[in-house]
Amino acid sequence: MNSLIQVNNLSKHFGDKYALNDVSFEVKQGQTVALVGPNGAGKTTLFSILCGYLRPSSGSVSIMGKPLGNPSLFGTLSALPQDATLDPRFSLQKQLSFYARLQGLSLANATNEASRVLELVGLADNHHAKISELSHGMKKRVCIAQALIGEPKIVLLDEATAGLDPLNAREIRHVIASLSEDITFILSSHDLAELEKLCDHVLYLNQGQLTTHDRDTSTGSSQYVTLTLIDSPRNAIEQLKQLNGVLHVSQSQNKEYIIEYQANFEQFDIHLLKYCHKLSWQYRQLVNGHTLENQLFQKD
């Protein structure tokens, strides 16, 4: 996989406060990356540096092998800030063609580009609607459409589904997933379940410092599944340990179990679900590997 973003020893301080402290990571083409961290961790600062809104105090960032600010990177990376707003007086088409023209497109090309990105986010039928007539979820989709203008290679989305109802959030996830073969997304969100569905690589920032995780948690001889049950059966851990192929079981939360099993065990998930059925246990969820929440917060 080609390297798209290379960040080396990046720091940013405001006075004596370090928002980012010696952060290094790489993003490869085709990855969908989650940027996670508590409030004040430095996520917006990192996005702002990647976009060129802020200059780093020290360290380096290169995008597709070029340093930040290199003219050849124009149009390569786009970002949807958390608090992005649209002009309520404009139609979708007019607003988006305006942004496309700001990227240097001719009037005709800008009009076509606005139609293209509206189609991508499922709003082609609404192109004459005014922004003020849209629901919150539709506005969010227009903002994502805006970030797609000019076919950027990398798109940073800050809290793309915050405040949306589950159906609208699902539609936005669908849009992101459907585009992620061609575009490398970096998604910042507090919704770990959402990132779990979309991302294969996690950047976890805490007080300006970074740890990275790959979502593939196999360790060679063993693999993991996380089983969430509807009830809490008595002696669940002991019973799970008796299942053929199981190496270790721990309880991560009430009703949630992390099961380590032999990597060469074929279709272990089906084997496990049959076992649950035999014991009359109802399951809520089965996730291959650790859940993202456990990867980030489980000290085990």
Ligand X SMILES: Nc1ncnc2c1ncn2[C@@H]1O[C@H](COP(=O)(O)OP(=O)(O)OP(=O)(O)O)[C@@H](O)[C@H]1O
Binding site for ligand X (CB under 6 A): 14, 17, 19, 37, 39-45
Paired sense of beta strands 184-188 and 33-36, if any: parallel
Question: Between 45 and 126, whose beta carbon lies closer to ligand X?
Answer: 45
Q: How far apart are CA 201 and CA 186, in angstroms?
A: 9
CA distances to 7, 86, 99, 160, 179 from 136, rounded to whole Å, are 34, 11, 20, 12, 22
Which residue, among 23, 25, 26, has the nearest Cα to 1 in the 3D structure? Answer: 26
Listing from the earlier edge strand, what are the strands of the sheet with 3-14? 17-28, 3-14, 58-63, 66-67
Question: Between 269 and 293, whose beta carbon lies closer to ligand X?
Answer: 293
Question: Between 185 and 224, whose beta carbon lies closer to ligand X?
Answer: 185
Gyration radius of the chain over CA positions = 22
Q: How far apart are CA 245 and CA 243, in angstroms?
A: 6
Min dist CB 46 to ligand X, Å, is 7
Q: How far apart are CA 282 and CA 202, in angstroms?
A: 30
Question: Between 19 and 186, whose beta carbon lies closer to ligand X?
Answer: 19
Min dist CB 35 to ligand X, Å, is 9
Name the 3-class secondary structure at 66.
Answer: strand
Min dist CB 99 to ligand X, Å, is 24
Q: Which residue is associated with the tokens 């575009």?
A: 183
Min dist CB 41 to ligand X, Å, is 4
Min dist CB 15 to ligand X, Å, is 7
Min dist CB 208 to ligand X, Å, is 7
Measured CA angle at 263 (ends 261, 267), to 5 deg: 80
Question: Between 120 and 162, whose beta carbon lies closer to ligand X?
Answer: 162
Residue 207, φ and ψ in degrees, nearest 5: 50, 45
Question: Between 19 and 276, whose beta carbon lies closer to ligand X?
Answer: 19
